[in-house]
Structure 1
Amino acid sequence: MNTRELLIKATDFLAGMGITPQSQEQQEFLDVIFDALLFIESTGQTYVFEDYRKHLVSDDPPRVVASFNTREEADSWLSELPDPPSSAYILVADQYHHLIYIRDKNHRRLFPHPVLEYYLGTRMREGLPPPKASFATRGEAEAWLQGQTSPPRQAVIQISGESYLAVYHPNINHRSIYPFSIAARVEAPEG
């Protein structure tokens, strides 16, 4: 079933549940759910939503919405954007930053965020696969990644004997190489 059909069936499912809200607050919760489903369809976000759902079940690094070479470029983009996302990750010099926008106050802010370090830590805890390729220098690795016509979403590689994660961010057509040496220590979940 495609995403458009799934959204229609989800809306029908909710409507057919015959839920009678016990309070105004519960009615508002139901309205928000219906509105969110209708928003996805009516604003042409069906495929974006489909990609988002695929990303949720993937083992890919955290999703980013933009990439910039410098902080100045990112700040300029954010200040000129008429309607920024309320919250999202962006890359600045291939480092994850969290974007926060509060519309009522026109507050726009970027700050470094350790989400990638935790992601890499989890990958290390789970065990890394054998490297897909090995390189003597980072330049060789970057040339290899940029030269891929169909880049892997992610691949463990080695540069001078150290493990790295080569990543393709398809929604922004950006390629990055992250050293596992920056990984945060992540404990196994209890239970």
Structure 2
Amino acid sequence: MNVSYFLLDGHGQNFEDYLAAFTDTSLPSLGSFPSREEFDAWLKTHFEPPPSGSLRIAEERYTLGYSRASGQPLLLRLPPVEDLRRPGGEEGREGLWRALDEAHSVLSSSPDDLEGLHSAALALHFVREAGCARDFAWFLAHLDAPLPPLCSFATREEAESWLAKHPRPPHGASVQVGGELLTVGYQRERDQRLLVRFPWDGE
């Protein structure tokens, strides 16, 4: 699984939290909610500052991320461990998950290799939950090309306003401002935000 995709498309911090929650490492718990409606009501009164962490809704586990473009909250369902072998028969994905099943049977005696395989399967779950399967398919088909810009703005002022209002800016993603491509920089610990121009090949 090519993790550079997550670093380049602005989903890096969402994916970091997703992995942390799955492995039960240091990620804040946002609590348990009996229904999605109860969680949505809670979120409306707890959005300043924007929360992040793991939570339960009914019997399902989630992490709370944020849409790269709109900044809207994004619930990402954490799969049970057994689903890392097969998420349930979706048409068109059978070949991929059958290959993972076969790899499991070959690697079952190698814990390190099996852990890597689990990480790849978890990354595929994340791609599906985050709704970026089409973007990921484009990335795989164009490995030598930069990803298309996430958003386009007519002026630098519009881009700066979007960046300032975003609850978790998509670090590493590119945005187009006029005829110029800029890269989003975001340091979560200090809430530092910036747009940087990097020269592309040939400049």
TM-score, normalised to structure 2's length? 0.45
TM-score, normalised to structure 1's length? 0.47
Larger radius of gyration: 1
